[in-house]
Amino acid sequence: MKLSENFKLAFIALLSNKIRTMMTMLGIIIGIASVICIVNTGDAQDKKTAKENEKYGAGQLSVMVQPKDESASFDAKLDSITLEQIDQYKEKFADLCQGISYFQNVDQTSVKKGNTKIELSMYAVNEDYQPLSAYPLLEGRNIDRKDIEKKHYVCLVTDYFVKKYYHSTNLKKAIGKKITVSIAQAQKEFEIIGIIKEDEFTEKYNAPTEFMFPISIYDSIKGVSSPIQNISIKPKDGVNTELFETTSTAFWKSTFSSSKTSKIEAYSGTKYSKSMEKQAQQAKLTMGAVGAISLLVGGIGVMNIMMVSVTERTREIGIRMALGAKNREILEQFIIEAMAICLIGGIIGIVIGSIAGMAISNALYEMSVYPSIYIIVIALGFSMAVGVFFGFYPAKRASDLDPIEALRYE
């Protein structure tokens, strides 16, 4: 008998018991759908994490001044990183370093225009802060070294601020406008020189918006230089990150080696990012294993129903054998039936899992990720393998029936 004839007989048998066939498929559908949904959601989480890491400088090296004595009090006096040390580093590692950023977090304040009141998060920054930050420049220019040295009263505001304060989406018109804010209880007028992109969180939850100005202005108002005890260093594109981190850490540790009170601790954004990715992969594998268990249960259900089917169709098997059907053909028919159940269930599971995965990804991570062809092929292949594996024993039992005994079966 041709293989196509076996396929035809298998599908006729499945369609003759539609409800039982669907109930048998249910375990396979749930198993495949859960695996696809988990993988899809995991991929969305990976992409979201990668996006956040890129946005907040996963490749940067954070250098922090810490007390040498770990038992020292929280407010212990520590040495500071000097501008001379920063310049020395930049000169020595000019081929590796793209920039060094540092800032002082100033108290929050607010500005009012008519009935509009906007909360501001004030940051006194150096010239490298914005280019290395998560806030891309949309219009105008950045705070530069000249602004720092000459103590120019200039600032960067966000597109969100422009929309709320000036009731306009024309960012170019906001450049050059003056705004008065309170810093250390002093009213100071700043000129807007640049517009940066607002963080999604601020617009969504109406949180305080960023306001950046030269760190030298803050020092001038306070009458004392702000201690630099935390800097972020960004490597140039294409630089060996391991070499960059090793040599940079060695430089800063040696710079503070003679200090009696302070030491340097360096934290790699790349290592943190890799650690997060590893944890996400482990979580995805764990959840995938749970899905695989449900698929295994579905496979056992397929085997159980196929055993029932063999028993119910014993006389039919006997008639086919009496008419000349070979044991191999009987075996093929029942294996094909099991494979068809798992294949159709697998396809339905992929569709349901993909839709559920995209919906969950969109709800949790605000992005829809389509399942890869690679995962779909694996899922279909695995569901067919389940059909062969769990369908073989009932099929073998059917093919081994004695024709005479089968014909006598009532």
Give me the pLDDT at residue 139, please: 93
The b/e string for 63-101 (b: 16+ C-beta within 10 A; e otherwise) is bbbeeeeeeeeeeeebbebeeebbeebeeebeebbebbb
Give me the pLDDT at residue 159, please: 92
* Winning range, highest mean pLDDT, from 6-20, 144-158, 267-281: 144-158
The b/e string for 315-335 (b: 16+ C-beta within 10 A; e otherwise) is eebbebbeeebeeebbbbbbb
**Distant-in-sequence contacts of 93-96, Cβ < 8 A, 24+ apart:** 93/247, 93/248, 93/251, 95/236, 96/235, 96/236, 96/239, 96/243, 96/244, 96/247, 96/248
Query: Which tens digits make up the pLDDT trace of 316-336?
Result: 777 777 777 777 777 777 788
Query: Which tens digits make up the pLDDT trace of 246-258?
Result: 899 899 999 888 8
Chain center to CA of 406: 59
Query: Which tens digits make up the pLDDT trace of 212-266?
Result: 999 999 888 887 777 888 898 888 888 888 888 889 989 999 988 888 888 888 8
- For residue 138, how many other CB atoms are within 10 A of its CB? 15
Listed in order, strand segments (DSSP E) in 128-223 are 137-140, 154-158, 178-183, 186-196, 209-214
- Report yes or no: 171 and 139 within 8 Å, Cβ to Cβ: yes
* Non-local CB neighbours of 103 within 8 Å, separated by 6+ positions: 123, 124, 125, 126, 129, 215
* Non-local CB neighbours of 194 within 8 Å, separated by 6+ positions: 130, 137, 139, 140, 141, 142, 143, 156, 157, 175
Residue 331's alpha-carbon distances to 10, 244, 320, 394, in angstroms, are 11, 63, 12, 9
Strand, coil or helix: 232 = strand
- In whole angstroms, give the CA distance from residue 299 to residue 266: 52
Backbone φ, ψ for residue 99 (5° rounding): 180, 165
- Claim: this prediction has a pTM higher than 0.85: no
Residue 179 — very low, low, confident or very high, per pLDDT cuts 50/70/90?
very high
Check residues 58 and 65 and name the one with the higher pLDDT. Answer: 65
Query: Which tens digits make up the pLDDT trace of 100-112?
Result: 998 888 878 889 8
Do the bridges between strand 116-125 and strand 209-214 make them parallel or antiparallel, or are there none, so unpaired?
parallel
Query: Which tens digits make up the pLDDT trace of 387-404?
Result: 778 777 777 777 776 666
Query: Which tens digits make up the pLDDT trace of 34-50?
Result: 888 888 888 887 777 76
Q: Average of pLDDT values for 140-167?
A: 92
Give me the pLDDT at residue 79, please: 85
Q: Average of pLDDT values for 181-199?
A: 89
Residue 378 — very low, low, confident or very high, per pLDDT cuts 50/70/90?
confident
Q: Which two tokens stand for residue 199?
A: 């963080």
